[in-house]
Amino acid sequence: MKAFVIHGPNLNLLGTRELSVYGDSSLDEVNAVIEEGGKELGFELSFWQTAREGEIIELLHSGIAAGVDGVLLNPAAYSHTSRAIADAVRAVPFPVIEVHLSNIHAREQWRRTSVTAEAAKGIVAGFGPHSYVAALVALKGVLDR
């Protein structure tokens, strides 16, 4: 099984950014946890990070030619605003699972709405790096069905 892991804006600063919310693991360390979990589940993963909304959309589209079976997407703050990413999630033929390190429902009111999650297969939030591993378990379950 092949999957993309797409991290949105500001996630490149994990490990130094708002440590009390996001923990002290760097993005490379988070990706290592995901890679390890993915290997055990039989996933071949490709990792991406971008601050740009359009690039997230293009990465989702590129999953079609790459033949991915699914995508784990943390759109970061775009989750709360981006109808364009939501439409891209609706446009691709594979399942997209939205992932958040923090529990967005336990934070500021404006974070409790995710317009991108409306288009996703499902959402995992609040478990730090383990959110991504849980999302891979869920993705495998959906694909095996």
- Strand order across the 2-7 sheet: 44-49, 2-7, 70-74, 96-100, 122-125
Report the interface residues with ligand DQA, using CB under 6 A.
10, 74, 76-77, 79, 100-102, 104, 111
Task: Evaluate the CA torsion angle 63, 38, 115, 24 in order and state its sign.
Answer: negative
User: Is 132 considered catalytic here?
Assistant: no
Report which of 94, 107, 102, 143 is spatially closest to residue 123, judged by C-alpha positions.
102
Query: Which residue, 22 or 94, is less far from ligand DQA as judged by CB?
Result: 22
Cβ atoms of 15 and 24 within 8 Å: the answer is: yes
Report the nearest approach of ligand DQA to the CB of residue 7 (Å).
9
Report the nearest approach of ligand DQA to the CB of residue 18 (Å).
9
User: Is 22 considered catalytic here?
Assistant: yes
Report the nearest approach of ligand DQA to the CB of residue 65 (Å).
27
What residues are labeled active site? 22, 100
